[in-house]
Every structure is written in C-alpha cells, then in structure tokens.
C-alpha cells in the first residue's frame, strides 16, 4: 500500500491527501513527528519534512510540490494542473501564491504560532505575529473572493491544484477558528463548494488533542 | 523579444537566466526594483517578486519554479527535469532542497543579510545570521560534494535543473566571496564544470555597484 507520512494540521500534507483522494489513489496515513528526527525517516527524506510519499514500488517522493507534480504526471486521468500552457502557468502561479505568499503572511503567523510552536514545545504565540496574520488573512480572503467571482474555480473553469492548495491552508486555519468568513461571501461560497467534495471528508474528521474545532468546521452548509 | 524581469544577485533570477541560455532561448533582461512596487509591474505580477518572464505572445509567468516548469514543457528539446518518474522526482527534490532548505539556511543568512538588506535600505547585517549561514554552507557544500562524487551531476547522469539551481545560489554567494571552496574538492570540481558552460558566462560578467567580486569569481580554472 502507498504510504503518506504526514502531520494532521500541515496544509502541505492536507493538499497531498486531497490530490490523492481526487485521483482516487488509496493510501495509508502515518503521522511523523519530524522534530524528533527519527533516523529511518531521515534516510527516507533527508530534508526531515512532511509530507513524504512512498509508492508501492519503493519510489520515495518528498515535498508537497514535488509530490503533486509527480502525481499529476504518473496518474494523469484526472488532470489537476491544466491542459494548455496558460492554464498550467495560472494554476502553478496560484499554488506558488498560497504556498509562498499566503504561507509566509498568514499560515506561519497563525498556525505556525498557535499550533506548531506548541507541539514543538517552543512556547506561547507571539501577539504581533497573530495580528499580522489576521490582517493579511482578510486581504487574501478578498483576493480569493475576487478570483471565485470572476472565474468558476480559482485558476479558471476547472477545479485544480490551486483550489486544493488554497483550501488546504484555509482548512487548517478554520480548524482553529481563525477564519472570518464574513469578509467575503464569494470566498465562503467557493470554500463550501470545495469542502463538500468527498476528498475533503477525511480532513473534516481529523481531530487533534487539545484543539476543539468550531461548530461550522465540518458543517457543509456553514 | 521575450523579457525577463530580474535582479542581478537573485539566485532565482540567475536560475531562470541559466535555463533560458541552456535552451538557447533569446531574452532581454530588465532590472526591476521590486521594493519600489511599481504599478505596471504589480499588474504583471501581483506577488511583486522577480523573476517574471513575459513571452512574445504576451503570456506572463511569475515565480522561478513556475517559469522553469513552463520552459521545460514549452521547449522540451533540451530536457532539464528528467525523462523517467524517478529522475524527475530526484531533480525536483533537489530543486526544492536548494530553493527551500539551502535558501533558508544559507542564502537568506548571507546574501539576504549582506546584499538584500543594504539595497532595500534595511541596515547592517546581523552577525548571528552570518555565523549560521557560514556554518550551514559548509554542511551543504559537503552534501553537494557527496552528490557530485557518487553521480556525474547532482541529480544523476544528466545535467539538470538541480545543478542550475544549486549553481545559481552558489554563484550569488561566490560573487560576495562567501564560499570556502576548500571544504569539498568534489563540490569545487562540480562547480568549475558548471561555471565553464556558455550559459554561465553572462552571470560571471554581472557587476553590482558597491561589490567587488573576488579574483576567482569569473576564473574558470579557479
């Protein structure tokens, strides 16, 4: 069986879980406490990050971006990047936007401070990072709303890796009650659409010791 | 003519210049002082980063990772990612290693502190960041040396995007005299091979006000 090493509240791991599920590829999840630097895991992925995917034939693929490119090449039936050069550029531009800019401005300031610092035993969240995170999140929600209003899905007429990437980041923040969905009705409507997909169900069932998600987290008609 | 918006000491811009040159695609370079947030440039690339590539047909591609994937798909003649799934995974794993881990541990601590802070007017380098950068660089040079000794090129038997990515980062550090090539003879030999390629020549001719590169910087037999 294909194995995915992951952490439940990592947006990068959630993205890969969504891609695998959308492509209907079965896999077994294994939680990897990367900060413990387990030797067998370092041999598998010297960068000591999650996610890492191990295929049944032994091929080991670390890094969510590398995994997603690999999965779209190896299992092309349900294409998630796009068919034309322009579509592929737009999907990857938005993936880089959410994994780069959104991550630096929002995810690290909120999830990084509230969750990652706690599980890694690095103390309390920094108040100014949280303030920055909440402010930047409003701007990003407006951008997502604008994209969702002018297109069917974030990168165009097809549901793509851009939607799954953005939704993976937002799902981690939403789990911790950090998303004010009143900022953009269009972003909220887009997220409700993504969240209703069968691929999302396992993410909504994740539970993490010490965090109670808000009532709307797993509610498809929130 | 194809246009590349860039900054001379950005490893990400240098990587794209190398890819374009390896694929023999002509382009015009335009320096973009991204911190000035020029409106016309924001319309082109809302993330306000360099590089961004504008094709003759108007297709605009921001982000070095997106540009390199695009170029290898649109101009596949001289393949830079690999032919098999395993090769493509290994090339992209190393690209993610250098653009992620090496960048965070080395490039940002050295180039980020010494050059980027200065041009953006953010003051003097932080001594502890510099110490971390030099220490981590030694470990990375040993890793590069180990890869170069066990394979012909970093990702295997083909020169690939992994070599160009690593060399782009190192060339920026070498320009500022930050690389102690005595750490690894194999890394030094590999870098001399990459540096001798015609695609590297324009990088070696770059000059930046206020920085005099060391004598060996443009010397092919250093």
**Segment A122-142, tens digit of pLDDT:** 788 889 999 999 999 999 999
CA distances from A89 to A154, A168, B47 (A): 13, 20, 14
Q: Is A44 on the interface with B (CB under 8 A)?
A: no
Using CB atoms, pick whichever of B65, B74, B88 lies closest to residue A85: B74
Specify whether domain A3-74 bears CATH 3.40.50.11890.
no
Matching residue, tokens 């860039």: B6
Q: Is A61 on the interface with B (CB under 8 A)?
A: yes
Contact (CB, 8 A) for B117 and B123: yes
**Segment B73-85, tens digit of pLDDT:** 999 999 999 999 9
Residues of chain A with CATH 3.40.30.10: 3-74
- Contact between chains at B85 and A65 (C-beta distance less than 8 A): no
* pLDDT given at position A210: 84
* pLDDT given at position B210: 84
Closest CA in chain A for residue B48 = A101
The rounded distance, in Å, linking the Cα atoms of A211 and B7 is: 44
- Contact between chains at B73 and A85 (C-beta distance less than 8 A): yes
* pLDDT given at position A11: 97
The rounded distance, in Å, linking the Cα atoms of A170 and B4 is: 33
At the top level of CATH, the class of A85-205 is mainly alpha
* pLDDT given at position B112: 86
Q: Which of A92, A95, A155 to mutate to test the interface with B (most CBs of B within 10 A)?
A: A92
Using CB atoms, pick whichever of A47, A61, A96 lies closest to residue B89: A61
Closest CA in chain B for residue A61 = B89
Q: What is the mean pLDDT of residues A30-57?
A: 96
Q: Is B65 on the interface with A (CB under 8 A)?
A: yes
| Contacts with B62 from chain A: Cβ below 8 Å | 93, 96
The residue ranges of DSSP E strands in A86-198, in sequence order, are: none
Q: Is B220 on the interface with A (CB under 8 A)?
A: no
* pLDDT given at position B9: 92
* pLDDT given at position A174: 96
- Does B207 or A162 have the greater pLDDT score? A162
Whether the ipTM is more than 0.90: the answer is yes
pTM, rounded to two decimals: 0.95
Q: Which of B53, B93, B136 to mutate to test the interface with A (most CBs of A within 10 A)?
A: B93
* pLDDT given at position B12: 98
Beta bridge partners of A53: A4, A61
**Segment A82-115, tens digit of pLDDT:** 999 999 999 999 999 999 999 999 999 999 888 7
Task: Work out whether the CA dihedral A77, A160, A97, A44 comes out positive or negative.
Answer: negative
- CATH architecture classification, B85-197: Up-down Bundle (1.20)
Q: Is A96 on the interface with B (CB under 8 A)?
A: yes
Q: Which of B89, B90, B98, B103 to mutate to test the interface with A (most CBs of A within 10 A)?
A: B89
**Segment B128-173, tens digit of pLDDT:** 999 999 999 999 999 999 999 999 999 999 999 999 999 999 999 9
- Contact between chains at A62 and B93 (C-beta distance less than 8 A): yes
Matching residue, tokens 């294994």: A30
Tally A–B CB contacts below 8 A. Answer: 64
């Amino acid at each position: 069986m294909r194995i995915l090493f992951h952490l439940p509240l990592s947006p990068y791991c959630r993205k890969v879980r969504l891609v695998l599920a959308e492509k209907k590829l079965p896999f077994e999840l294994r939680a990897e406490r990367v900060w413990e630097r387990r030797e067998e895991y370092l041999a598998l992925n010297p960068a000591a990050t999650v996610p890492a995917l191990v295929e049944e034939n032994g091929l080991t693929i670390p890094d969510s971006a590398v995994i997603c490119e690999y999965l779209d090449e190896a299992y092309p039936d349900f294409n998630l990047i796009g068919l034309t050069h322009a579509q592929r550029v737009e999907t990857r531009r938005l993936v880089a936007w959410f994994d780069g800019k959104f991550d630096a401005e929002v995810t690290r300031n909120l999830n990084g401070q509230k969750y990652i610092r706690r599980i890694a035993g690095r103390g309390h969240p920094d108040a100014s990072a949280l303030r920055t995170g909440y402010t930047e999140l409003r701007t990003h929600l407006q951008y997502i709303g604008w994209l969702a209003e002018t297109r069917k899905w974030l990168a165009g007429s097809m549901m793509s890796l851009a939607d799954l990437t953005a939704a993976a980041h937002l799902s981690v923040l939403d789990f911790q009650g950090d998303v004010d969905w009143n900022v953009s009705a269009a972003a909220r409507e887009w997220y409700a659409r993504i969240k209703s997909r069968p691929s999302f169900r396992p993410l909504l069932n994740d539970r993490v010791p010490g965090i109670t998600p808000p009532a709307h987290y797993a509610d498809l008609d929130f």
